[in-house]
Amino acid sequence: MGRVRASWRVAGAVGLLAVAPLALAARAGAGPRPIYQTTRHDAGTPNSDVVVRHHGVVTSYGDSAITYSAPPATLKALGYALYLENCATCHGTQANGVPVAGTTGAYPNLVGLGPATIDFWIESGRMPATDPRSVEAPRRPPRLTHHQALAIAAWINSLDPSYPGIPTVHLRGGNVATGMALFALNCAACHTIEGDGDALARSTFAPSLRHIPATQVAEAIRTGPGNMPRFTGNLSDYQVRDIVKYVTTEIQHPRNPGGFGLGGLGPVGEGFVALLVGVAGLALIAFWVGERQ
């Protein structure tokens, strides 16, 4: 996103302030142990009774709306090479969040995060990060291919197999109506009901959902990137599928039967049009037909 970069420095400066306490904490707990573990994605399973595992990795939460698959283990070696090249400076050679010597800062431990998390952060372009102090690494065009992301996820997963795996959403049977209701209940409070995203407290932002592919939407719901909550137990795969379907259809391709959508800015945009086109336009016409002395 262009505008993200434009004000990146401001966000960076505030980000620095926010990360400073973390860095201090990191000093205090010096040693080989992991610096911080954000989320270990093996707690709790969704509403379904059956959890299908394959070689210890959950392939399904028991219903057929989404298939979770572990990245092929054969890519492990390639993944390790790519990891050392792109990630090890910050996340450490063992992916445990201890950066290589000479790198300062605090980095999350990646072991046990599950392939979906790794895949999401790489494929959304957030990783490899450019700014080591970032609190909310921005979405960017991905720098690694899908194949490379799978490979890195395969290697990290081999350290401690965990889930969720990389989801494939079977959108066919999805129901947009329930999707909309669930979206209003679970997501609109941050991403807005039209999915445009908005500024949250301090320098954090709920991003726009207008251009996120289905897989990443499902990954975000199941893994909860950054400041977003992770939805596991309270949403079944059917429900996640409905949300993904709603996001990728109605939100990403809104039908605007009423004419131009006015950028989804709601009453802000409408107010500008009413005042600038309506009132000012009519006043100009009055100016034109009336006498001006």
Partner 1 sequence: MSDVSPSGAARPHGRGRYGRVSQAVTELDERLGVARGARTFLDKIFPDHWSFMLGEIVLYSFVVLLATGVFLSLYYVPSSTVVTYHGSYLPLDGMPMSQAYASTVDLSFAVRAGLLMRQMHHWAADIFIGSMVVHMARVFFTGAFRKPRELNWTIGVTLLTLAIVNGFLGYSLPDDLVSGTGIRIAYSILLSVPLVGTYLAFWVFGGNFPGTVVLERFFILHVLVVPLVMLGLVGAHLALLVRQKHTQFPGEGRTEENVVGTPMFPVFMAKTTGFLLVVTGVIALLGGFAQINPIWQFGPYEASRISYAVQPDWYMAFLDGALRIFPSWSFHSFGHTIPLEVTIPAVVLPGLLFGLAYAWPALERRVTHDDAIHHLLDRPSARPRRTAAGVAVLALLAMLFVASSTDVIANFFHLSLNTVLWAMRVLVLISPFVAYPIAYAIAREMHALHGAGKRKTPNVVTRSAEGTYEATPAPAFVDDVAEELAPAPVPTFIEEEGPAVAPRPSRGTRAVDR
Residues at the interface with ligand HEC (CB under 6 A): 38-39, 86-87, 89-91, 107-108, 110, 113, 117-118, 121-122, 124, 127-129, 132, 134-137, 139, 152, 186-187, 189-191, 200, 204, 206-207, 209, 212, 216-217, 220-221, 225-229, 231, 243, 247
Cβ 74 to ligand HEC, closest distance in Å? 19
The length of the chain in residues reads 293
Cβ 264 to partner 1, closest distance in Å? 9
Residues between 28 and 57 with contacts to partner 1, criterion CB under 8 A: none
Cβ atoms of 63 and 51 closer than 8 Å = no
The amino acid at residue 121 is: W
Of 232, 229, 245, the residue nearest 180 (C-alpha): 245
- Residue 60 contact partner, candidates partner 1, ligand HEC, none, CB within 5 to 8 A by sort of partner: none
State CA 158 to chain mean position distance. 23
CB of 14 or CB of 88, closer to partner 1: 14
- Residue 25 contact partner, candidates partner 1, ligand HEC, none, CB within 5 to 8 A by sort of partner: none
The residue behind tokens 């890195």 is: 152
Cβ 87 to ligand HEC, closest distance in Å? 3
CB of 101 or CB of 289, closer to ligand HEC: 101
* Distance between CA atoms of residues 88 and 28, nearest Å: 22
CB of 143 or CB of 279, closer to ligand HEC: 143
Among 76, 126, 133, 191, binds partner 1 (CB under 8 A): 191
Cβ 217 to partner 1, closest distance in Å? 17
Among 71, 115, 190, 226, binds partner 1 (CB under 8 A): 190
Which residues pair with residue 199 across a beta bridge? 205
Cβ 170 to ligand HEC, closest distance in Å? 17
* Distance between CA atoms of residues 241 and 218, nearest Å: 8
Taking CA 58 as the corner, what is the angle to CA 56 and CA 61, rounded to the nearest 5 degrees? 145
Q: Judged by CB under 8 A, does residue 172 bind partner 1?
A: no
- Residue 132 contact partner, candidates ligand HEC, partner 1, none, CB within 5 to 8 A by sort of partner: ligand HEC
Angle between helices 146-159 and 115-123 (to 10 degrees): 150
Cβ 8 to ligand HEC, closest distance in Å? 13
CB of 43 or CB of 289, closer to ligand HEC: 43
Q: Judged by CB under 8 A, does residue 261 bind partner 1?
A: yes
Of 206, 139, 143, the residue nearest 5 (C-alpha): 139
Q: Which residues contact 34 (CB under 8 A, 6 or more apart)?
A: 96, 97, 98, 109, 111
* Distance between CA atoms of residues 191 and 291, nearest Å: 50
- Residue 199 contact partner, candidates ligand HEC, partner 1, none, CB within 5 to 8 A by sort of partner: partner 1
**What's the token pair of residue 97?**
């969040």
Q: Which residues contact 225 (CB under 8 A, 6 or more apart)?
A: 117, 120, 121, 124, 126
Q: Judged by CB under 8 A, does residue 64 bind partner 1?
A: no
CB of 29 or CB of 266, closer to partner 1: 266
Of 247, 200, 193, the residue nearest 219 (C-alpha): 247
Candidates 47-55, 104-112, 192-200, 223-231: pick the segment binding partner 1 (CB under 8 A).
192-200
